[in-house]
Amino acid sequence: MADGAVQPVERQLPTEEARDLLALVRELVQREIAPHAADEEAAGRFPRELFALLSESGLLGLPYDSAFGGGDQPYEVYLQVLEELAAARLTVGLGVSVHSLSCHALAGYGTKEQRAEHLPRMLGGKLLGAYCLSEPSSGSDAASLRTKAVRDGDDWVLTGTKAWITHGGVADFYTVLARTGGEGAKGVTAFLVPGDAEGLSAAAPEKKMGMSGSPTAQLHFDGVRVPDARRLGDEGQGFAIALSALDSGRLGIAACAIGVAQAALDEALTYATERRQFGRPIADFQGLRFMLADMATQIEAGRALYLAAARLRDAGKPFSKQAAMAKLLCTDAAMKVTTDAVQVLGGYGYTADFPVERYMREAKVLQIVEGTNQIQRMVIARHLAGPDSR
Ligand SMILES: Cc1cc2nc3c(=O)[nH]c(=O)nc-3n(C[C@H](O)[C@H](O)[C@H](O)COP(=O)(O)OP(=O)(O)OC[C@H]3O[C@@H](n4cnc5c(N)ncnc54)[C@H](O)[C@@H]3O)c2cc1C
């Protein structure tokens, strides 16, 4: 049979600078992230110092304007960096994606003064962000959120509970969506809340199926006072801001999913060429060869779709439908590919001695976060057929 050595991913990158960037990321991943991923995930350890290192290396603000400390990289390049990070450790790839999501409201809707004051530290000052939309009783129906912000002189006073917050309790700043007006999407406003604000506290992190190193926690706002200067965008504009952040964020999730799937395929390929049964490498058997071929095809299709959506975004064209399609296809592919990788490894795949069981547990969450895959289908259908007439 042919040599089954794992080949590096063939990437289409627009510039020499982008190729150098990816090479730097691969080197950093091999040196700092991959060697510790399995042990730290098993121990549930959050690698705060890695995020400081990524920030120092300019990797926490890649798609943002260099005038504010960003990296000026096209989205198609930023997403491929995320893919490499997530392939080594999803806690890190997803963490960078969430950080980027949490900077979106300020970068896109903040005033010039707000951006000048906060963005440089958020993008390259070793600060870590979190994005607070979900609540215990509002997930998919995010516009029904109840956390309140009430005006008091020059301040706003926030009261309520946010749920499922990635980096909850460890973030330096929180982009928070709160209700300042009546019911529904039009009554929501965005705020930038410092992590050490008085009255802000985090519950113990959730005990999750995977990504144990990434803290996910409820956040309690008990009369948290923030000045009006920390309101992002207009009053009532918050939900539109949240959705626009999610369009971009979903592409980050898609890229992370392809990273996890690629890592699972690489592991399965290596194993299948080494493991022998019936006197031959198991990679000789057509039953497995077809499975590996399907896995590789789903990964390439997913990568092509998220890159096509990213290129629309980079060209300033609408990309919301394509972002939902990419999130749906890439995360479903990751679930299928990681499940098949466990199958390729047989009984060994079901043990913690190999990383494929971790990849399978990690893939599951990607079908849920930033809009479940049912919600992605609703978004796509709305683009195709208009709003639901009920
Ligand atoms: C590890 C993790 C990290 C997260 N990080 C963050 C974060 O940083 N910030 C944040 O704000 N949120 C975060 N979330 C929350 C996440 O976005 C929500 O879990 C998700 O949006 C789904 O909401 P829910 O869990 O309340 O499920 P529900 O909305 O209660 O949905 C339950 C089920 O019903 C389905 N469903 C709901 N409505 C419909 C419908 N109309 N049609 C068809 N099916 C439907 C859903 O698809 C799902 O299968 C995180 C979640 C997890 C698990």
HEC letters along the chain:
CCCCCCCCCCCCCCCHHHHHHHHHHHHHHHHHHHHHHHHHHHHCCCCHHHHHHHHHCCCCCCCCCHHHCCCCCCHHHHHHHHHHHHHHCHHHHHHHHHHHHHHHHHHHHCCHHHHHHHHHHHHHCCCCEEEECCECCECCCHHHCCCEEEEECCEEEEEEEEEEEECCCCCCEEEEEEECCCCCHHHEEEEEEECCCCCEEECCCCCCCCCCCCCEEEEEEEEEEEEHHHEECCCCCHHHHHHHHHHHHHHHHHHHHHHHHHHHHHHHHHHHHHCEECCEEHHHCHHHHHHHHHHHHHHHHHHHHHHHHHHHHHCCCCCHHHHHHHHHHHHHHHHHHHHHHHHHCHHHHCCCCCCHHHHHHHHHHHCCCCCCHHHHHHHHHHHHHCCCCC
Could you tell me if the CB of 263 is within 6 A of ligand 1? Answer: no
pLDDT > 70? residue 334: yes
Q: What's the confidence (pLDDT) of residue 6?
A: 83
Q: What's the confidence (pLDDT) of residue 390?
A: 67
Over range 352-369, report the average pLDDT.
Answer: 98
Give residue 4's pLDDT band: very low, low, confident or very high (50, 70, 90): low
Determine which residue's CA is closest to atom 38 belonging to ligand 1.
Answer: 140
Q: Which sequence positions are flagged as catalytic?
A: 370
Could you tell me if the CB of 177 is within 6 A of ligand 1? Answer: no
Could you tell me if the CB of 132 is within 6 A of ligand 1? Answer: yes
- Cα–ligand 1 centroid distance for 20 (angstroms): 37
pTM: 0.97
Structure tokens at 305: 């779709």
pLDDT > 60? residue 3: no
Q: What's the confidence (pLDDT) of residue 388?
A: 79
Q: Are 214 and 46 in contact (CB under 8 A)?
A: yes
Q: What's the confidence (pLDDT) of residue 1?
A: 38
Could you tell me if the CB of 174 is within 6 A of ligand 1? Answer: no
Could you tell me if the CB of 29 is within 6 A of ligand 1? Answer: no
Over range 36-49, report the average pLDDT.
Answer: 97
Q: How many CA atoms lie within 13 A of 156 on its CB side?
A: 26
Over range 372-380, report the average pLDDT.
Answer: 98
Determine which residue's CA is closest to atom 12 belonging to ligand 1.
Answer: 134
Q: Which of 165, 369, 377 to mutate to test the pocket of ligand 1 (most atoms within 8 A of CB)?
A: 369
132 Cα nearest atom in ligand 1? 11
- Cα–ligand 1 centroid distance for 331 (angstroms): 14
Over range 312-331, report the average pLDDT.
Answer: 98
Q: What's the confidence (pLDDT) of residue 341?
A: 98
What percent of the chain has pLDDT above 70? Answer: 98
Q: How many CA atoms lie within 13 A of 213 on its CB side?
A: 26
| Closest-CA residue to 260 (of 358, 367, 376) | 358
Over range 226-240, report the average pLDDT.
Answer: 98
Determine which residue's CA is closest to atom 4 belonging to ligand 1.
Answer: 164
Q: Which of 372, 374, 388 to mutate to test the pocket of ligand 1 (most atoms within 8 A of CB)?
A: 372
In angstroms, the CA 111 to CA 95 distance is 26
Give residue 5's pLDDT band: very low, low, confident or very high (50, 70, 90): low
Q: What's the confidence (pLDDT) of residue 110?
A: 97
36 alpha-carbon distance from chain centroid:
20
Over range 198-225, report the average pLDDT.
Answer: 98
Structure tokens at 110: 């903040």
pLDDT > 50? residue 2: no
Cα separation of the two ends of the chain: 57
- Cα–ligand 1 centroid distance for 244 (angstroms): 17
Q: What's the confidence (pLDDT) of residue 349?
A: 98
Length of the chain: 390
Could you tell me if the CB of 166 is within 6 A of ligand 1? Answer: yes
- Cα–ligand 1 centroid distance for 140 (angstroms): 5
In angstroms, the CA 55 to CA 243 distance is 26
pLDDT > 70? residue 189: yes
pLDDT > 60? residue 31: yes
290 alpha-carbon distance from chain centroid:
30
Q: Are 190 and 239 in contact (CB under 8 A)?
A: no
